[in-house]
Amino acid sequence: MSTTELHQQVRERFGVETIDDRVVALGAAGALCLLVSAITFLIGSPFTALPFAGFLFTVAYGLYEYQAATAKALSFLATIGTGTILALITFYLLVEALPAIRLMGAEMFTSTSEPMWRTRGEEMYSLVPMMWGTLVTTVLAMLIAGPLGVAGALFISEIAPDAVREVVKPAVETLAGIPSIVYGFIGFTILNDYMMESLELPTSGSLVIVGLVVGLMSLPTVVSVAEDAIASVPESMKSGSLALGTTDWQTIKSITIPASFSGVSAAVLLGVGRAIGETMAATVILGHAQRLPDPLYDVFGNTETLTSLIASQYGVASGTHMSALFAAGVVLFVSVTVLSIGSQYIERRMKHQLQGES
């Protein structure tokens, strides 16, 4: 946003409350300092510290002299900052990904002819195997996390006695806290060996283990979000059903689940987002082969996911190769953001509907 707009914002927001011109001037000075330090930081100038110190000084003076207005301005800045980070992420990912996309064109997302990934000589970057790998692991993960997660949410919200709930709920949350690298380490040292030994797999690592581990990891997300949705079904709807003489389970089946259906699907979508973005478990477990499994549905085969591609190759990549990794990041970012916005839309609709019904 330009300085004049910012001035106007400051005037609009603070002029009404305090007609003091000095507040406006101070706000403008602070905003200018921050803007200059943002610009110097963006161009990588070593002088960033100067305007930033000016900003800090303005804030300190403002907090001392006009506390209310300064606090409001700061909170506004924090809000803008949150949005700016998303914008910066989008911008930098796209800019860095452009060279590879320009080189490959649409083939980057469609080409299935061998070789699909060659970083030396005649470069070739097709993301198809990675997208397939991500798709397969995500589907496998959701086959686990979806039904089990919803059942777990039903248990916590509707079925468990209070004492049991007090144990199960924190335990599920804690499960979400186990770092993915720990899962990955267990998968790498224990599961990979187990699968190679018992299933005679030719290579270490397979999509099915990643799917399993990632499913376990996205389970807590599904449980807690679905539980929120199920708990938000108004008590009056359930009591109405119970008063007709139904069993608890009949009420759950015909009232609670249908009423919370959109919220529960939002939970599953969020779980899908988590599964798509899961990096370390896939990186550590998979054998990193950038080709499609043969046949396509061979889940015991080895391929690559978008996330593991980035994590395993960033260290050796440069130039177009690095740019291709950013393109993988763009695919990840776009799909997860679409899922996030979709689940928010569904959630909002559900809230709207429930308010209409209760």
- Considering only 23-31, 37-45, 54-62, 99-107, which stretch makes contact with other proteins by CB under 8 A? 37-45
Binding mask 289-328 for other proteins (x = CB under 8 A): ------x-xxxxx-----x--xx--x----------xx--
Cα separation, 260 vs 349, whole angstroms? 11
- Considering only 115-123, 124-132, 184-192, 349-357, which stretch makes contact with other proteins by CB under 8 A? 184-192
**DSSP sequence for 290-354:** -S--SSTT-TTS----HHHHHHHHTTT--THHHHHHHHHHHHHHHHHHHHHHHHHHHHHHHHHHH
- Considering only 28-36, 233-241, 245-253, 349-357, which stretch makes contact with other proteins by CB under 8 A? 245-253
- Find, among 303, 294, 232, 219, the residue nearest to 263 by Cα: 232
Secondary structure in 3-state letters for 264-297: HHHHHHHHHHHHHHCCHHHHHHCCCCCCCCCCCC
Cα separation, 294 vs 206, whole angstroms? 13
Q: What's the gap between Cα 52 and its chain centre?
A: 31
What is the closest distance, in whole angstroms, from the C-beta atom of residue 258 to other proteins in the complex? 13
Is residue 172 a contact residue for other proteins (CB under 8 A)? yes
Give me the sign of the Cα torsion angle 281, 283, 287, 290: positive
Is residue 341 a contact residue for other proteins (CB under 8 A)? yes
- Considering only 25-33, 54-62, 256-264, 337-345, which stretch makes contact with other proteins by CB under 8 A? 337-345
Is residue 237 a contact residue for other proteins (CB under 8 A)? no
Given candidates 75, 112, 239, 353, which one binds other proteins under the rule CB under 8 A?
75
Is residue 224 a contact residue for other proteins (CB under 8 A)? no
Given candidates 2, 16, 83, 121, which one binds other proteins under the rule CB under 8 A?
83
- Considering only 30-38, 105-113, 120-128, 154-162, which stretch makes contact with other proteins by CB under 8 A? 154-162
Is residue 2 a contact residue for other proteins (CB under 8 A)? no
**DSSP sequence for 95-134:** HHHHHHHHHHTTHHHH--SSP-EE-SSS-EE--HHHHHHH
Residue for token digits 């803007």? 35
Given candidates 65, 114, 173, 357, which one binds other proteins under the rule CB under 8 A?
173
Q: Which is nearer to other proteins, 57 or 249 (CB)?
A: 249
Given candidates 4, 5, 64, 78, which one binds other proteins under the rule CB under 8 A?
78
Is residue 218 a contact residue for other proteins (CB under 8 A)? no
Is residue 61 a contact residue for other proteins (CB under 8 A)? no
Residue for token digits 């609670």? 256
What is the closest distance, in whole angstroms, from the C-beta atom of residue 121 to other proteins in the complex? 25
* E-assigned strand segments in the chain: 117-118, 124-125
Give me the sign of the Cα torsion angle 188, 191, 192, 193: positive
Is residue 98 a contact residue for other proteins (CB under 8 A)? no
Q: Which is nearer to other proteins, 124 or 327 (CB)?
A: 327
